[in-house]
Amino acid sequence: MIANYGCEDGSGIYYIRIDTGKCGDCQLRGCVGGCPQELFVIEEDDWGDEMAVVREDRRRTLQAVCAACKPQDRPPDPLPCQSACDRQAIEHTW
């Protein structure tokens, strides 16, 4: 499943996309410690499988939260969360 966490507002479209098909059998959970903003947590999905999700209280403010990792002049590629995910399951839409 492709899970898009985030929102759209007047300034743009801000979603973090997690491919749960890649994420589901990961044991390392690199995203949890790899994001400097501590955006990712592990939760059980509706079928009892553990998945990484974006914290619910941050989903409407991703633009601001992720700004620290995305300086406009030279954003790192890949981003820290993407580097930490060895399954390459994380994408940003902006």
* Binding positions for another protein, rule: CB under 8 A: 1-4, 7-10, 13, 15, 46, 60, 93
CB of 54 to another protein, least distance (A): 12
The residues near 82 (Cβ < 8 Å, ≥ 6 apart) are 88, 90, 91
User: Which residue lies nearer to another protein by CB, 10 or 71?
Assistant: 10
Q: Are 39 and 63 in contact (CB under 8 A)?
A: no
User: Which residue lies nearer to another protein by CB, 12 or 33?
Assistant: 12
**What's the N-to-C CA distance of the chain in angstroms?**
20
User: Which residue lies nearer to another protein by CB, 57 or 73?
Assistant: 57
